[in-house]
Amino acid sequence: MKVLLLLACLVSLSAIFAANTCQRPKRLDTSFDIGSLDGSWYFVRGLNRNNDCYECHNITFYPAHQGLFFAEEYYIEIMNATTIHYKIESSLTQWNSTTPGVIRIDSDDVNYSLEWRIIDLGLNDDYAYVYYCGTYSGGFPFEGSVILSRTTTLSNDTISKLEKVATSIGLNLDNYCKIRFDRCDQSSEL
C-alpha cells in the first residue's frame, strides 16, 4: 500500500515537474485559428531527435464538431533495415478563447498529452512553427519544436523568416533535423 502511494506521489510530482520545466516561449501567433490547421501537413523540421526526426512524417487535421479537431499522424522509422509504419490518432482543442495560439492534443494511441504553442503561422497558412511540451503516461516529460508545411520543402524566403523567428525565441534552426521524404511509400503518403 505504501509503495502504491509513493508511486502515485512520484507520478504526480513528475507531471508537475514537466509542467514547470518546459521552456515555453512567450511568443505566440495570436491571429491563429484552429481551423487553419484543417487539411494535410508535412513535418519538415524537428528539434527533438527522439520525437520529431522520422522518415516521411505527416499529419492530417480534420474538424469533428464545435471546436474539436481530430488528427491522423503517419510516420515511418527505419530500424535495422526494416521499415516500421506508425499511425497515431489524436484529438485537438484550442486551449481557451483568450489564448488562441495554444492547442491541447491528447492521444490514447500513445498515451500522451501535448500542449502545442503556435509560434508563427505562414501568411497563407502554408507553414506552422510549433513549440510543444508534453507528458507520456506516468508523467514522463518531453518537449521540442517542429515546423509543419503544406509541402515537403520550404522556400529560401520562408527558411530565412523562420531563422529569425527561431532566434527571437532563443533557438537555432540549424539544430533542427530535416525530415526525409525519399523513403516514403504508398502507406505513408498523405
Give the model confidence (pLDDT) of 51-109 as tens digits: 888 888 888 999 887 667 888 888 877 767 777 888 888 888 888 778 889 999 888 87
Residue 130 lies in a domain: yes
DSSP summary character for residue 180: B
Residue 25 lies in a domain: no
CB 147 within 8 A of CB 128: yes
Residue 22 lies in a domain: no
Residue 47: give its domain's CATH number. Answer: 2.40.128.20
What domain range is 159 assigned to? Answer: 34-178
Which pLDDT value is given to residue 143?
94
Residue 190 lies in a domain: no
Residue 104 lies in a domain: yes
CB 90 within 8 A of CB 107: yes
- In tens, the pLDDT along 110-137 reads 777 889 999 999 978 899 999 999 988 7
* C-alpha cell read off for 128: 506552422
Please give the tally of structural domains in the chain.
1
Would you mind telling me the total number of residues written for the chain in this entry? 190
Residue 147 lies in a domain: yes
Distances (CA, A) of 148 to 4, 8, 12, 111: 41, 36, 32, 22
DSSP summary character for residue 139: T
What value, to the nearest 5°, has the Cα angle with vertex 149 and ends 144 and 151?
A: 140
Residue 19 lies in a domain: no
pTM summary value? 0.82
Amino acid, single-letter form, for residue 48: N
Residue 101 lies in a domain: yes
